[in-house]
Amino acid sequence: MKAVVIGCGRVGSSVAKALVRHGWDVVAIDENEDALTRLGEDWKGGFLVGHGMDVELLREAGADEAEAAVVATNGDNTNIVVGQVLEKRFDIGCVVVRILDPARAELYSTLGLRIVCPTSSAISVLIEAARSCEIRPERATA
Amino acid sequence: MYVLVAGGGKVGANVTRTLISWGHEVTLIEQRRDRFERLEAEFEHRVQVGDATEMFVLERAGIRRPPDLLVAVTGDDVDNIVICQMAREHFGVQKVIARVNDPRNQEHFDLLGIQPTVSATANVLAMIEHEVPEHELIHLLELKRESLEIVEVQIVKDSPSVGKRIDRLSLPDGSRLISVMREGRAWIADEATELQAGDQVLAILEAGKEEELRGVLLKR
């Protein structure tokens, strides 16, 4: 199974490594060639330097045959557009897009993109963590 | 008409200025603080500061009314795409115009159905085609929504149409010759106009008729 990972920062590189551990053929793309170091010395997948909007680069990365794509650059709008290009132009069945802005995440998820919004997740987790704190009796008001 | 302009660079500022002088209501959104302050000195309350790809910025600028037209002319193509998509899909804006900064991104605008688009590079290239005579058929204007295009055809001396009246040419259905330019003068073409070598002919045609028209006017 083949996957392309666009954006090889903290998130993208970890996802790429995990997919390789699960037996996927992975090609990662990042604008910055230093991002390769995040993948570790024993990286067995592919790595290309360039922008996710570059169709030729996506093709070179194997987007034509890929079954899955993860889009996690540091730009929400880039992720939104690249995700749609991978879905519509390259017909990849499973495209997962990271969007940090909860408003855009909700909108594009209603438009049919498969969105992961770490900000929304963090908000829920933080609220849950705060609410589950044990309140010391002397501070409890009611 | 109420128009929302995203991006206050040279293009956005001039579009805003002109639309206001035509009597339209305009709100301009500019992200950069320094640029915003210069624009505010000229446009006052008509300019707002913020990232036009943020929904609350668009809402504050009045996108829920919604505007009759949204013009996305920031210097960033992905931003222009996202602004147009949000305006159309979420806020129900009927008409959008987007600027393409890097012509290599044109195909993404086309793929996502964002049109019409405006690209300075594409315009310069079209102008070069127009000025360089070895191109026999060049595209002057593409009306994507209407599925029509206007082309210019350079009639050369061995063209099959030389010496023929327009009503004697079997022009493809869905095409029409508009005008003939000869020795620096232009005429509106009618059925009696006779084509000569060296003529520059403007034609309007439906999408997909180009090869047929080329065959009638240029190829033996």
Beta bridge partners of B181: B186, B200
B34 pLDDT higher than 70: yes
CA angle A86–B145–A108, rounded 5-degree value: 35
A104 at interface of B, judged by CB pairs closer than 8 A: yes
Determine which of A6, A73, A77, A113 to mutate to test the interface with B (most B C-beta atoms within 10 Å): A77
Is B83 contained in some domain?
yes
What does the alpha-carbon distance between residue A34 and residue A16 come to, in Å, rounded to a whole number?
A: 15
Continuous segment of H or E residues that includes residue A2 = strand A2-6
Answer with the one of B83, B118, B153 that is the final residue of a domain. Answer: B118
Query: Within this chain, do residues B6 and B108 fall inside the same structural domain, yes or no?
Result: yes
Compute the 3-state secondary structure of chain A and give helix, strand, coil in percent, each to the nearest 5: 45, 20, 35
What does the alpha-carbon distance between residue A27 and residue A36 come to, in Å, rounded to a whole number?
A: 11
Is B98 contained in some domain?
yes
A61 pLDDT higher than 70: yes
Confidence category of residue A68, pLDDT binned at 50, 70, 90: very high
A81 at interface of B, judged by CB pairs closer than 8 A: yes
Query: Within this chain, do residues B168 and B210 fall inside the same structural domain, yes or no?
Result: yes
Read off the pLDDT of each residue in A118-136 and give the average, rounded to a whole number. 92
Query: Within this chain, do residues B104 and B178 fall inside the same structural domain, yes or no?
Result: no
Residue of A nearest to B109 (CA): A81
- Residue-wise pLDDT tens digits, B176-213: 999 999 988 999 999 999 999 989 999 999 988 988 99
Q: Could you please report the per-residue DSSP string of chain B?
A: -EEEEE--SHHHHHHHHHHHHTT-EEEEEE--HHHHHHHHHHHGGGEEES-TTSHHHHHHTTTTS--SEEEE--S-HHHHHHHHHIIIIIT----EEEE-SSGGGHHHHHHTT--SEE-HHHHHHHHHHHH-TT-SEEEEEEETTTTEEEEEEE--TT-TTTT-BGGGS-PPTTEEEEEEEETTEEEE--TTPBP-TT-EEEEEEETT-HHHHHHHHT--
What ipTM does the predicted assembly reach?
0.90
B168 pLDDT higher than 80: yes
Contacts of A63 in chain B (CB under 8 A): none
Is B79 contained in some domain?
yes
B130 pLDDT higher than 60: yes
What does the alpha-carbon distance between residue A35 and residue B184 come to, in Å, rounded to a whole number?
A: 59
Contact B112 A107 (CB under 8 A): no
Residue of B nearest to A110 (CA): B90
Answer with the one of B90, B118, B146 that is the final residue of a domain. Answer: B118
Contact A75 B81 (CB under 8 A): no
Continuous segment of H or E residues that includes residue A87 = helix A76-88
What residue type is B109 in one-letter code?
Answer: F
Answer with the one of B72, B94, B118 that is the final residue of a domain. Answer: B118
**Total structural domains in chain A?**
1
Quote the mean pLDDT of chain B.
92
Sign of the CA dihedral with A22 first, then A16, B106, and B8 last: positive
Which structural domain, as residue segments, surrounds residue B67? 2-118
What does the alpha-carbon distance between residue B50 and residue A100 come to, in Å, rounded to a whole number?
A: 17
Contact B135, B179 (CB under 8 A): no
B49 pLDDT higher than 60: yes
B134 pLDDT higher than 70: no
Query: Within this chain, do residues B82 and B161 fall inside the same structural domain, yes or no?
Result: no
Is B104 contained in some domain?
yes
Where is pLDDT greater, at A135 or B66? B66
The pLDDT score that the predictor gives to residue B144 is 81
Is B123 contained in some domain?
no
- Residue-wise pLDDT tens digits, B6-22: 999 999 999 999 999 99
Q: Distance between alpha carbon B45 and the CA centroid of its chain, in Å?
A: 30
Confidence category of residue B157, pLDDT binned at 50, 70, 90: confident
The CATH number of whichever domain residue B90 belongs to comes to 3.40.50.720
Tokens of A31: 């604008």
* Segment among A15-24, B7-16, B73-82, B181-190 with least mean pLDDT: B181-190
The pLDDT score that the predictor gives to residue A133 is 87
Confidence category of residue A142, pLDDT binned at 50, 70, 90: low
Phi, psi of A44 (to 5 degrees): -105, -10
The pLDDT score that the predictor gives to residue B133 is 58
Contact A69, A3 (CB under 8 A): yes
Q: Is the peptide bond before B66 cis (omega within 30 degrees of 0)?
A: yes
Confidence category of residue A38, pLDDT binned at 50, 70, 90: very high
What does the alpha-carbon distance between residue A117 and residue A106 come to, in Å, rounded to a whole number?
A: 9
Confidence category of residue B89, pLDDT binned at 50, 70, 90: very high
CA separation (Å) from B38 to B27, B30, B62?
15, 11, 22
Percent of chain A with pLDDT over 70: 98
Query: Within this chain, do residues B25 and B84 fall inside the same structural domain, yes or no?
Result: yes
Is B125 contained in some domain?
no
CA angle B139–B144–B150, rounded 5-degree value: 30
Contact A55 B76 (CB under 8 A): no
The CATH number of whichever domain residue A101 belongs to comes to 3.40.50.720
How far B81 CA sits from the closest chain A CA (Å)?
7
Query: Within this chain, do residues B143 and B85 fall inside the same structural domain, yes or no?
Result: no
Query: Within this chain, do residues B27 and B108 fall inside the same structural domain, yes or no?
Result: yes
Contact B112 A84 (CB under 8 A): yes
**Total structural domains in chain B?**
2
Query: Within this chain, do residues B137 and B114 fall inside the same structural domain, yes or no?
Result: no
**A vs B: CB pairs below 8 A:** 49
Is B126 contained in some domain?
no
Contact B82 A104 (CB under 8 A): yes
Query: Within this chain, do residues B181 and B107 fall inside the same structural domain, yes or no?
Result: no
Among B77, B38, B59, which Cα is nearest to A75's? B77
Contact A77 B53 (CB under 8 A): yes
Which structural domain, as residue segments, surrounds residue A64? 2-139
A12 pLDDT higher than 80: yes
Residues of B with a Cβ under 8 Å from any A Cβ are 53-56, 76-79, 81-82, 85-86, 89-90, 104-105, 107-108, 111-112
What does the alpha-carbon distance between residue B149 and residue B134 come to, in Å, rounded to a whole number?
A: 20
Confidence category of residue B31, pLDDT binned at 50, 70, 90: very high
B220 pLDDT higher than 60: no
B136 pLDDT higher than 90: no
